[in-house]
Structure 1
Amino acid sequence: MSATHTLVIDRLGHRGEGVALVEGKPIFVPATLPGETVAVTIEGNRGTLLDILAPSPNRSAAPCPHFPACGGCQLQHLSAETYSQFKRSLVVDALSRAGVAADVNDPIIAYGAGRRRATFHATRSAAGFMALRSHQIHDLDRCPILVPALAQAPRIARDFASAVGPCDVAFTASDMGLDVAVRAKGTKANPKLTDLARAFDLARLSLNGEPLIIHRQPTVTMGRAQVPLPVGSFLQATEAAEAALAELVVKAVAGARQVADLFCGVGPFALRLAERAAVLAADSDSPAVAALDAAKRKAKGLKPIAAEKRDLFREPLGPFELNHFDAVVLDPPRAGAQAQIAELAKSKVKTIAYVSCDPQSFARDAATLVAAGYVIGPVRPLDQFAFSSHTEVFARFERP
């Protein structure tokens, strides 16, 4: 049996775990707070919480009975103020390490009605997220951070696992109902799947990336457009976050007549920007670009959108192309936009609106732009992943 250790938590790590120092080395203890005295067992650099001997005044009661056993959330035990400070600190620390001086605002809270997307691991007997520090599924009856339309998601996932065996079930709440995508190794279509799709009135059911049955084409509203969702399409986790980020982007490039929307996805920014400016929208995701193109063809009152498939990691727009635009919008994946940023640094583009899902890569790219003469405006963290250690970042860069 492992020995019990008494530790004092020093700080929160960037994944939201409490960090204590033992003989100068960090020990990471989930569900703890700075200043708390805790009893733990230790294995390697990981501590398992046994008891809180002296709780922090900043501790709050978790709103979900599955916390902290369920690994889907990391921060339900923080008070609202401590939580906000932690989210802001993720951005402040990343910029500091990159040598970028900038004002960082308090986070914009963008939970809205909850997350409209979720992926559950499922077996015949369990459906949910992986348990904390485990490869075992923590079975859920409900998940309070999801939109009401996903209330039955755990049950649906278990029923699909009963039909195909262990699987991952991805849910998206669309305007037309639930879009469900099942991934299961070695599984082929069978009548049980289509029966379940009808029983739960799914808008669409896909199996291993291919549509199996479509009762109603899943769509989402973006500005004046209805976008047909490709299978597995990326969307901001909450509708409120998409709207808030779009508002920041549109405001940042106000007055621009020619805008490039790079890493455009299905068009959450391009379709709104086109209400005022001509837009080049580029992304390497062919189905996403096709969906954007289909949406803009049916939407009314938009200026031209040129939707282009382009790998911006291998083939970024160069200065000659970039200099045709008054403003550039970037919303890259977690790795950031290093290659494209290097070309922007050599360009004459006046305004850059940068949306990021990773403070580290954002800070790296921001340092490149600042070194090239761009001035960074106030940085806006945005929190759409309630109780997690993830945060979005927005900033406007201006070339004097």
Structure 2
Amino acid sequence: MTVTATIESLGHKGEGVALIDGRKVFVPFALPGETVVMEVDGERGTVHQVLNAAPNRAKPFCPHFGTCGGCQLQHLDAPGYAAFKTGLVETPLRLVGIDAKVERFVTAHGAGRRRATLHARKDAAGYMRLKSHDLLDLDACPILVPALQRAPDVARALGAAIGECDISFTATNAGLDVGIRKAPKGTRAEKLVPLANSLGLARLALEREMILLRQQPSVTMGRSEVDLPIGSFLQATGEAEAVLADYVVGAVGKAKSVADLFCGIGPFSLRLAENAPVYAADSDKAGILALDKAVRHTKGLKAVTGKARDLFRDPLTRFELTFETVVLDPPRAGAEAQIKEIALSKVRHVVMVACDPKSFARDAALLVQAGFILSDLIAVDQFAFSTHVELAATFRR
């Protein structure tokens, strides 16, 4: 069905929302105030023509925008983009009764994303097309760091050798760290070793098992060099890691004892330990070992006590929480079990980083109910032109 309609608002997935016969229709790449001619199929709309462009419409810089499923927001100008991402943070908080405003919106795209996952097949490699299981054979992706510009070619070579799979790339100090997942059954690791050598990869893993190591991949964090374990978490851009770490160090201030929970490989712990002893916990055992090694090889740090611990099933109890300040950076699910223990403890100062505004709002509400006050809320944009946003906030009783 072809209709002409006005876009009323922008949904949380970055799609325009039109009201047609009293029901919402979600329209990718349309902006509020625009009148568009579109094809409607159920609750989805596809733009055929924009009759009057919104004043905040921008020209996309990537030729694949609109076809590739990677970016959703290149058509929105910088002020509109910042307002949209700020809203992603503030709206879930408002829905749980917390009236907090983002005090700073920080663009942290830096040199580009240092991590990416491409899909590969025998004859192509790239991202999936928009709302599709069809593969877009990619020549280049302009939002990646220069070191990842050859990732599509590497993925094509690996896909040609083994068939359909997912291939993750990380740009490291040693070169490309590459991992193959969802490979066809019977894929022979030894078949890939000569190819990985010829491609000049630093490391190649198959289903998280290392099959080639030419040079140990590492990343720089503060004053430390950290070996990167296969599959461990790393912020998408180096700039975002630095921005968030600066926030955490500033918010912690002169605390004499700090717990860094969901610490990963230590982007906060290693910087915090320049000033105070740190207790660092995460379920990633390999990440804790990498953090311990980095601490041993970095001069001038206070003690870092690293513990492999599942903070979802086994959070630090209120009796263990004897620290002046607790820092948390949980995954998308949030830190509900740990937050409940903090609420019951004597901890008076919490610094939280989050990648999911909804789970953050839930956890923040638990702290506020326990007598904490939220302040210094910032939004950090590292996933350029997507609908994801990082945030950080400080809580004091």
TM-score per shorter chain, which class?
over 0.9
Which residue pairs with 1:220 in the alignment? Answer: 219
Task: Tell me the residue number matched to 1:397.
Answer: 395
Q: In the alignment, which residue of structure 2 is the partner of 1:134?
A: 132
Structure 2 contact 114–236 (Cα < 8 Å) conserved: yes
Q: Which amino acid aligns with 1:201?
A: G
Counterparts of 1:153-192 in structure 2, within 5 Å, are 153-183=151-181, 184-192=183-191
Alignment deviations for residues 196-220 of structure 1 (CA, whole Å, 9 cap, x no partner): 2122211101111101110000000
Matches within 5 A, 1:1-400: 3-183=1-181, 184-322=183-321, 324-399=322-397
Alpha-carbon distance in 2 for matches of 1:186, 1:288: 28
Give the ranges of 4+ consecutive aligned residues of structure 1 lying more than 4 Å apart after TM superposition.
none
SS at structure 2 position matched to 1:378: strand
Superposed CA deviations along residues 122-144 of structure 1, whole A, max 9, x for unmatched, are 11222111110101111110000
C-alpha separation in 1, matches of 2:236 and 2:134: 24
CA contact (8 A) 2:122 2:162 kept: no
User: Is contact 2:128–2:135 with CA below 8 Å preserved after alignment?
Assistant: yes
CA RMSD of aligned residues (A): 1.0
Give the whole-Å Cα distance in 2 for the aligned partners of 1:38 and 1:149.
Answer: 40
Aligned residue type for 2:192: L
Q: CA deviation at 1:261?
A: 0.3
Paired residue secondary structure (1:321):
coil
Paired residue secondary structure (1:231): coil
TM-aligned CA deviation for residue 23 of structure 1? 2.1
Contact 1:116-1:150 at 8 Å conserved across structures: yes
Question: Does the CA-based 8 Å contact 2:68-2:136 persist in structure 1?
Answer: yes
Query: 1:122, 1:188 → 2: CA distance?
Result: 14
Higher mean alpha-carbon deviation, 282-291 vs 163-172, is at: 282-291
Q: 2: distance between equivalents of 1:115 and 1:217?
A: 20
- 1:85 touches 1:106 (CA, 8 Å); kept in 2? no
CA distance in 2, matches of 1:358, 1:76: 21
Q: Is the 8 A contact 2:259 2:323 kept in 1?
A: yes
User: How far does residue 189 in structure 1 lie from its aligned partner after superposition?
Assistant: 3.0
Amino acid at match of 1:204: R
Matched to 1:46, the amino acid is R
Look up the SS of the partner of 1:320 in the other structure: coil
Per-residue Cα deviation, 1:274-294 (whole angstroms, up to 9, x for no partner) = 111111110111111121112
Question: Which of 325-334 and 224-233 deviates more?
Answer: 224-233
Q: Percent identity?
A: 56
Superposition deviation, residue 187 in structure 1? 4.0
Instruction: Name the CA distance, whole Å, in 1 between partners of 2:232 and 2:51.
Output: 46
CA distance in 1, matches of 2:208, 2:184: 12
Tell me if structure 2 keeps the 8 A contact 1:88–1:106.
no
In structure 2, distance between residues paired with 1:34 and 1:126: 36
Question: Comparing 178-187 with 10-19, which one deviates more in the overlay?
Answer: 178-187
Instruction: Indicate the SS of the match to 1:236.
Output: coil
**Does the CA contact (< 8 Å) of 1:4 and 1:39 recur in 2?**
yes
| Counterpart residue type for residue 366 of structure 1 | A
Partner AA of 1:98 in structure 2: V
SS at match of 1:70: coil
TM-score normalized with structure 2 length: 0.98
Per-residue deviation, residues 232-256 of structure 1 (Å, max 9, x unmatched) = 2210000000000000000101111
- How big is the shift at 1:191? 4.8
How many residue pairs were aligned? Answer: 396
| Counterpart code for 2:305 | A
Q: Which runs of 5+ in 1 are unaligned?
A: none
Return the letter of the residue paired with 1:237.
A
Contact 2:102 2:378 in 1 (8 A): yes
